[in-house]
Amino acid sequence: MSTPYVLLGFLAERPRHGYDLKHAYDSRFPKAKPMAFGQVYATLGRLERDGLAFAQGSDQAGGPERTVYAATPEGRARLEEWLATVETPAPHVNSALLAKVTVALLVADVETASTYVTDQVAAHMARMRELTAIKTSPQSALSDVIAADYAINHLDADLRWLRTTLDRVSDLHREVHT
């Protein structure tokens, strides 16, 4: 996740203080790792240092005085550039799942490697059921549904790969050990 651009996007939407930015992040990315307040303020400091945001004033409504930040014209231009840039598909496969399956093929017998892959399929299926329940719940916010769709599609791709790998475990094991 590109945290500086996400926060810059929230500031481009409207001026905000750090506390509001953290809550906006946590509500828009509900299934992501929550953002720490320290990360919000450190990122705001970098955005301000780089001329992409500025302290617009302060707000004391209902609590302590808080500095309100807004995006600068340069910040809005950088945000537009970032949004217009197509993300390059990941050039390298780097996944704990791939690493575990590969190492299992190196060090385990065929049955143990197959068991690991089968257990992983079961874990993926359980997570897909949890996400489907979130996605189909009438109480789910649209941001929850979008995040669940994203995760379900990634889990589905992993499951297809796991099943293909499971079909090939004997051949892969033989290839590794000859």
Per-residue pLDDT at 1 exceeds 60: no
In whole angstroms, what is the distance from residue 166 CA to residue 114 CA?
6
Under 8 Å between Cβ of 13 and 32: no
In whole angstroms, what is the distance from residue 132 CA to residue 136 CA?
6
The per-residue DSSP string of 85-121 comes to: SPPPPPSS---HHHHHHHHHHHHS-HHHHHHHHHHHH
Least reliable range by pLDDT among 3-7, 17-21, 100-104? 100-104
Q: Closest Cα to residue 124, out of 113, 132, 134, 112?
A: 132
DSSP, collapsed to helix, strand or coil, labels residue 57 as: strand
Q: What are the pLDDT digits (tens) for 157-172? A: 989 988 898 888 878 7
DSSP, collapsed to helix, strand or coil, labels residue 85 as: coil
Task: Give the pLDDT score at 31.
Answer: 67
Under 8 Å between Cβ of 21 and 61: no
Q: Which range, 14-28, 92-106, 160-174, is most confident?
A: 14-28
Which whole number is the average pLDDT over 15-27? 90
Which whole number is the average pLDDT over 115-126? 90
Least reliable range by pLDDT among 70-74, 88-92, 151-155? 88-92
In whole angstroms, what is the distance from residue 101 CA to residue 87 CA?
28
In whole angstroms, what is the distance from residue 80 CA to residue 78 CA?
5
Task: Give the pLDDT score at 90.
Answer: 64
Residues 6 or more apart whose Cβ sits within 8 Å of residue 178 = none
Task: Give the pLDDT score at 49.
Answer: 97
- Percentage of the residues of the chain whose pLDDT score is greater than 90: 43
Task: Give the pLDDT score at 58.
Answer: 81
Task: Give the pLDDT score at 69.
Answer: 95
Per-residue pLDDT at 134 exceeds 70: yes
Task: Give the pLDDT score at 48.
Answer: 96
Q: What are the pLDDT digits (tens) for 100-115? A: 777 777 677 788 888 8
